[in-house]
Amino acid sequence: MSTTDKDDELTRRQFLLLAGRSAAGAIALGARPGYGDDQPDAAAGEAAQAADRGAARSPVSFVVNGQARTVSVEPRTTLLDALREELGLTGPKKGCDRGECGACTVHVDGRRIVSCMALAAMQEGKRITTIEGLERNGQLHPLQSAFIEYDGFQCGFCTSGQIMSGVAVIEEARAGWPSAATLDVTRRFGVSDLTKAEIRERMSGNLCRCACYPNIVDAVAQAAKSS
């Protein structure tokens, strides 16, 4: 594909944005008031009033993938939405939006968290890493390479969350953290204790509807061994 063709073409993301707007429009015309919205219909008046307060945006500054960034957010904006909508970092995915699926996993100050359950405005001064910030000098992170080598995905929707979680799992093991799969929590834990049973337990906050779990576990095990 030539550069010109690419520039003329709708990007996948632009297409999805447009399609999403059309879909939202269709729903808004539908019979079920409040559907797809955050407010129950009965509370709409109250919500409109409160919106004045809630909509007040304020700046928050953090370091994302090594770069200092400032974004203007509403108090209710999640870190996930700020990353995706304000900073265009669409690696973290919105799956369940309840902290249950792990597709939105990012690192904050070196720790894995679910960014859909964190408010952006509470991240002032934090150091945030998304899947986009994992490579170094054009080299994939060893776990990214292992996912390719072990075929750790099919549709790919959960993959960035899986990889961000897996990178942290290896770090947590190195720091000596036990898990629910650890037979004796009173003993020190090391990265060499990171069996497949341990990896399965530690990765349980990341769902994969394609069920690539065996390959994901193999990829994490390989990256842990080579780390």
Partner 1 sequence: MHPFSLSSTEDPANAIAAHARDSQLAFIAGGTDLLGLMKDRATFPDRLLDINRLPGMAHIESRPDGALRIGALARMSDVAADLQVRQRFPVIAEGLLFAASGQLRNMASMGGNIMQRTRCAYFRDDDDAPCNKRRPGSGCSALHGINRNHAIFGWSEACVATHPSDVAVALAALDAFVIVRGMGGERSIPFTDFHRLPGSTPERDNVLERGDLIVAIEVPARPEGRASHYLKVRDRQSYEFALVSAAAAVATNGRQISSVRLAMGGVAHKPWRLSAAEAALRGVSLDDSDGLKSAIAKSFGDARPLAHNAFKVELAQRVALRALQTAGARA
**174, two tokens:** 């190195």
DSSP H helices, the chain, are 3-8, 12-28, 44-54, 79-81, 142-149, 159-174, 196-202, 213-226
Cβ-Cβ contacts under 8 Å for 85 (sequence gap 6 or more): none
Verify binding: residue 180, partner 1, rule CB under 8 A.
yes
* Positions 93 through 112 that interact with partner 1 (CB under 8 A): 97-99, 102, 105, 111-112
Verify binding: residue 191, partner 1, rule CB under 8 A.
no
Of 2 and 186, which CB lies nearer to partner 1 in the complex structure? 186
* Positions 54 through 73 that interact with partner 1 (CB under 8 A): 54-56
Verify binding: residue 39, partner 1, rule CB under 8 A.
yes
Of 94 and 149, which CB lies nearer to partner 1 in the complex structure? 94
Which residue, chain included where needed, has tokens 């080299």?
Answer: 139
Q: Find, among 107, 100, 95, the residue nearest to 204 by Cα.
A: 100
CB of 38: closest distance to partner 1 in angstroms?
Answer: 6
Q: Output the CA torsion 48→49→51→52 (10° steps).
A: 130
Verify binding: residue 158, partner 1, rule CB under 8 A.
no
Strand order in the sheet with 67-73: 67-73, 58-64, 127-129, 105-108, 111-114
Backbone angles phi, psi at 106, to 5 degrees: -135, 175
Q: State which of residues 87, 200, 213, 227 lies at the interface with partner 1 (CB under 8 A).
A: 200
Axis crossing angle, helix 213-226 with helix 142-149, rounded to the nearest 10: 140
Verify binding: residue 27, partner 1, rule CB under 8 A.
no
Verify binding: residue 174, partner 1, rule CB under 8 A.
no
d(CA 142, CA 79): 26
Verify binding: residue 47, partner 1, rule CB under 8 A.
yes
Q: State which of residues 153, 172, 212, 221 lies at the interface with partner 1 (CB under 8 A).
A: 172
Of 149 and 227, which CB lies nearer to partner 1 in the complex structure? 227
Verify binding: residue 127, partner 1, rule CB under 8 A.
no
Of 93 and 112, which CB lies nearer to partner 1 in the complex structure? 112
**Cβ atoms 119, 79 nearer than 8 A:** yes
- What residues line the site for partner 1 (CB under 8 A)? 38-40, 43, 47, 50-51, 53-56, 74-76, 78, 97-99, 102, 105, 111-114, 117-119, 121-122, 165, 168-169, 172, 175-180, 182, 185-186, 188, 200-206
